[in-house]
Chain A
Amino acid sequence: MSLISLKNIYKIYNVGGEEVRALDGVDLTIKENEFLAIMGPSGSGKSTLMNMIGCLDTPTSGLYEFEGEKVHEMDDNQLASIRNRKIGFVFQTFNLLPKATAQHNVEIPLIYGNVRRDLRQAMAADALESVGLEDRMHHKPNELSGGQRQRVAIARALVNRPSIILADEPTGNLDSKSGTEILEIFDILYRAGNTIILVTHEDYIASHANRTIRLFDGKIQEDISTTA
């Protein structure tokens, strides 16, 4: 059964009286334990597609089902709930809370998911351990390196055991060594059975994925699977 199914998705903006089709009839199915890279030049609609998959945005028209739930019919609260339970976000700029410790940052999705405190702490510790930060749990973001910050963000994305991990240029703000480390973590997560969707414009990053789609002018131009 497919995890994500997008059918005939349109996202149309009205910019200064002009119609902009950010997504122009996209059909996409993503199965469990895929490692998908979304590529394309700026303005191709890859960010819009990622927001759509991440349930941050709803389509102008079309059908979006996430594990059988009809996302295109959801209101703000339902979208928040599905993001909280089923999607783990990793941002290019990490987006950690600067005043909170690594541990606390990782706990945030669990707080919104109303998880008990003791359970929450255990889950956060597990997630941080899985990205190799068990000895940095009580550090604040400004006491961590860029690579470590992104690992905290990955731990935060993992902590709710989401159905998909959605990463937007996760290495864009990192040096190549840290970037490689982060990609290795994604490889490990993929091999452990996770579904990962990665937005990037770097071919060598996309090469970690087992499937790559290329967007151009809001349409899927290319969809290549590489069975590793």
Chain B
Amino acid sequence: MFSLFLENLRISLSAVLANKMRSLLTALGVVIGILAVTLMGTLISGLDRSFEKSMEFLGKDVLYIRKFEWFGDKEWWEMRNRPNIKIKHADVIRDRSRYAKYVAPVSEWYTSVKRGENDIGGVRVTGTTDEYAMITTAEIEKGRFFSNSESRSGSRVAIIGKDIADNLFDKENSIGEKIRIGNYTFRVIGETEKQGKFLGMFSLDKQIIIPIGTHQRLFTRRGWTGINVKVDGNQIGDAIEELTAMIRQLRHIRPTEEDNFALNRQDPFKEQYAMIKLAIGGTGFFITVLSLVVGGIGIANIMFVSVKERTREIGTRKALGATPKMILGQFLMESVTICLFGGLMGMGLAWGGSFIIDQYFPSDMPFGLAFTALGLSVFVGIISGLAPSYKAAKLDPIDALRYE
């Protein structure tokens, strides 16, 4: 039976190659279908990876005490009028909370950074304490974080992100070197490892961390502030309750009044992300199914044409001893071959497309999905080839031989 399989394969390939343009146009639906499903898979895998990393950056057991809610239906202007988070409350939380393991106040300011001729604008300068190192997942790659005493005093020391290091120092040693942040000279004491972008939006590496005392004195007392609290991941509910009560008390909020601060964490991100993923997946699925159905109809149509064109050949083959099953196999094979060509072409295009996606979300084409896609094109080939092949198999040999 293997030689019959080879023969059918040979016939299919020569039929497809003899009508290159026709086969290509026919397979277009399958190409688009496979392209859609594979690109979608690549995109989702990239998003997943990027999202995982971003969520890792936030940490699953870290609460972010902020003025603004990250998610929710509060009006922006309502939150805008809330009082800023007070840095000194960090010390109160550290002293009184049962659940807080590490507490780091943060204050942010955007400015430019210079070293000699090199100059970067829009760098996020974060003032914090030494405990920040225990909360963040970003590792120190070179040098060190600042100490407790440095964070209290006004030391002008800085830990620079990967983008800053690459821009200002290229491949030179940065530790101990001087840089200018805004109008002030700082000494670099550490470099953080590369972290990538947060949800593909902004770079986490274009950041400089300095002691909060220095930050407050040199840059701002009124800027953007918050407190990051690392708690025990198993007691996060209790921790939220305790911290909410504590801050309400510190802010003298009456029981009838609403909170005028936010305790943010990563979970709502996950919910939002699951919805986005569902939307992308749903759209991709819809496009895939639609184009495969339309493509399948096109293939069925062209297979009917092919059977018609080769009626005499079918008659001859039957006279020479081909059984109905063998003829069925021959035309099914042809239909599957067209679909497989389409599928491979779609995969090729998707592979190219995955490089473009990779620019935004580090990703690669999921191989399992690629093979599923190929399987899917074979399936479409069989389904759409079934009716025409059956027709060919059932042809009366005499009529077929007489067909002009």
A interface list, Cβ under 8 A from B: 51, 54, 56-57, 76-77, 80-81, 83-85, 89, 91, 95, 97, 99, 108-109, 111-117, 120, 156, 160
Contacts and interface: CB of A to CB of B under 8 A. Distances in A.
Contact of B398 (A57, A116, A117): A57
A156 B323 contact: no
A97 B7 contact: no
B401 A112 contact: no
Contact of B321 (A51, A99, A112, A116): A112
10 contacts: A80-B318, A80-B326, A83-B319, A95-B401, A97-B316, A112-B4, A112-B320, A114-B4, A115-B3, A120-B3
A109 B320 contact: yes
Contacts of B3: 111, 114-117, 120
Interface in B312-355: 312-313, 315-326
A76 to B, nearest CB: 5
Interface in B382-404: 397-398, 401
A64 B31 CA distance: 53
B21 interface: no
Contacts of A99: 14, 18
A112 B319 contact: no
B309 to A, nearest CB: 12
- Which bucket holds chain B's interface residue count? 20 to 34
Contacts of B322: 80, 84, 112
A76 B323 contact: yes
Interface in B61-116: none
A120 B3 CA distance: 10
Which 10 A-B residue pairs are closest in the complex by CB-CB distance? A84-B321, A95-B316, A80-B323, A112-B321, A109-B320, A56-B397, A89-B319, A77-B323, A111-B7, A83-B321
A167 to B, nearest CB: 12
Centre residue among A91, A108, A111, A156 by max chain B CB count within 10 A? A111
Interface of B: 1, 3-4, 7, 14, 18, 312-313, 315-326, 397-398, 401
A83 B397 CA distance: 12
A95 B315 CA distance: 9
A77 B320 contact: no
A117 B10 CA distance: 15
B320 A156 contact: yes
Contacts of B319: 54, 56, 83, 89, 91, 95
Nearest to A93: B312
B1 A83 contact: no
Given A80-B322, A112-B326, 18 more contacts: A51-B398, A56-B318, A77-B325, A80-B318, A80-B324, A80-B326, A81-B321, A81-B323, A84-B320, A84-B321, A91-B316, A95-B401, A97-B316, A99-B14, A112-B4, A112-B323, A117-B3, A160-B321
Contact of A95 (B4, B18, B312): B312
A97 B313 contact: yes
A98 to B, nearest CB: 9
A76 B324 contact: yes
B321 A85 contact: yes
Contacts of B4: 111-112, 114
A85 B321 CA distance: 8
Nearest to B315: A95
Contacts of A117: 3
A116 B2 CA distance: 9
A93 B325 CA distance: 26
Contacts of B318: 56, 80, 83
Contact of B401 (A85, A91, A111, A113): A91
A160 B319 CA distance: 13
A218 B318 CA distance: 26
A161 to B, nearest CB: 13
Contacts of A97: 313, 316
Contacts of A113: 321
A111 to B, nearest CB: 5
A182 B312 CA distance: 23
Contact of B1 (A77, A114, A120): A114
A4 to B, nearest CB: 17
A33 B401 CA distance: 27
A81 B320 CA distance: 9
A109 B324 contact: no
Contacts of A54: 319
A154 B3 CA distance: 23
Contacts of B326: 80, 112
A108 B325 CA distance: 16
Contacts of A84: 320-322
Contacts of B401: 56, 91, 95
Nearest to B327: A80
Nearest to B313: A97
